Every structure is written in structure tokens, then in C-alpha cells.
Amino acid sequence: MKIAVYPGSFDPVTNGHVDIIERAASIFGKVYVAVIENPEKKANFDFATRMRMIKGAARHFRNVRVESFKGLLIDYAKKRKARAIIRGLRAVSDFEYEFQMAQTNRKMCPNIETIFFMTDSRYAYLSSSLVRQISKLGGPVRGMVPDNVLNELKQKENDGK
Ligand code: ADP
């Protein structure tokens, strides 16, 4: 069985992420969605909330498991016996960073491939930071994030008021 890990901050998870999860899950036997738990990198949503949101969004995929990881991604990927690291690409602006990360991980661990999924055109514009900004300003984010995330966003805005 081929195993992949899909790492990210998912701050919050969007429909663009869910689309990548679904497509990866249709190719790989098992996909571990790995939420970065990094105390140095400041996230908007706390770690527990990010985990809850993505767990809710990925609940219906039978071969997907949501976990967290600290430290080096390749160490986590090796522990899970993954053959591939999944990442998504939207615009050229994603490329430089992703290319550098993929090369670095390949240098450290040549037998784990980074595999890129091109965004679906429906989600090409979509990012977690965009969703956060729109939500903060009271704009409509329905259709950009899974339904369970809508509630969390509303809650956050109410707490902030
Ligand atoms: P990170 O903080 O590691 O970049 P993100 O949570 O922002 O993590 O994203 C995780 C991965 O999903 C990245 O490879 C990113 O390019 C990809 N991604 C984010 N949004 C989309 C989208 N709308 N369509 C396709 N891929 C996406």
C-alpha cells in the first residue's frame, strides 16, 4: 500500500486543501494529513482548533488520517513509511518556496518524492490568509471553507468583538 503525507498549517483548512486531500486519497492507499505543530510559527487559530477543523473536514474520507507533527517533516514521513509528500500549487508565486523545500527534503531523504497537485481552477485564488481577512471584515466565506469551519470562523469573530 502506497502511503503519502500532506503537511501544512491549515490555518484554517479551506476547500482548496480538501480538494487536494480528496485527490491524493484517490491515488494513495493511505494519506496522513499532518498539521504542523510549531510553537515558533505564529498561527491565527490555535493548534487544537486547527486540528478540530481539519478533522471535521476530512471525516468522510476512509483512508485519510489527520495527525500532527513537530520537527522535521521527513522524520515524520519516514515514521509513517510514506513514499510521497503531497503539496499543492496555485500560482507561480507558490513555486519558488515549494521548489526549495522539495529540493531540501530530497537532499535529506532521496527516496521520498514530493508530488505536486495543481489546484483546481475553482480554488486557484483561495488561501487561508484570504479567508481569514474576509471573515475578519465580516464578508461571506461560504463556499471557500467546509461547513464546520464556517462555524469556527463565526465563533472567532464573535470572540473578537
Ligand atoms: P504551509 O503553511 O505549509 O504552506 P498551508 O496550510 O498554507 O501550509 O498549505 C498546505 C499546502 O496546500 C501547500 O502546499 C499549499 O500550496 C497548498 N494549498 C493551499 N491552498 C491551496 C489551494 N487553494 N489549492 C491548491 N493547493 C493549495
CA of 88 to the centre of ligand 1 (A): 5
Which residue's alpha carbon is nearest to atom 27 within ligand 1? 88
Give the position, in ligand 1's atom list, of the atom nearest the Cα of 87.
14
Identify which of 119, 125, 149 to mutate to test ligand 1's pocket (most ligand atoms within 8 A of the CB). 119
Catalytic residue (choose from 78, 90, 106, 132): 90
User: Model pTM?
Assistant: 0.96
**CATH code at 22?**
3.40.50.620
Asked if residue 14 lies in contact with residue 127, where contact means CB atoms within 8 angstroms, the answer is yes
116, 94, 102, 41: which is closest to 73 by C-alpha? 102
Express each pLDDT in 61-115 by its tens digit.
999 999 999 999 999 999 999 999 999 999 888 999 999 999 999 999 999 999 9
CA–CA gap between residue 61 and residue 124 (Å, rounded): 23
Structural domains counted in the chain: 1
**Is residue 23 annotated as a catalytic residue, yes or no?**
no
**Is residue 142 annotated as a catalytic residue, yes or no?**
no
Ligand 1 contacts (CB < 6 A) are 8-10, 14, 16-17, 20, 87-88, 90, 94, 119, 123, 126-128
Structural domain harbouring 16: 3-159
What confidence tier does 38 reach under pLDDT thresholds 50, 70, 90?
Answer: confident
What confidence tier does 157 reach under pLDDT thresholds 50, 70, 90?
Answer: confident
CA–CA gap between residue 138 and residue 103 (Å, rounded): 40
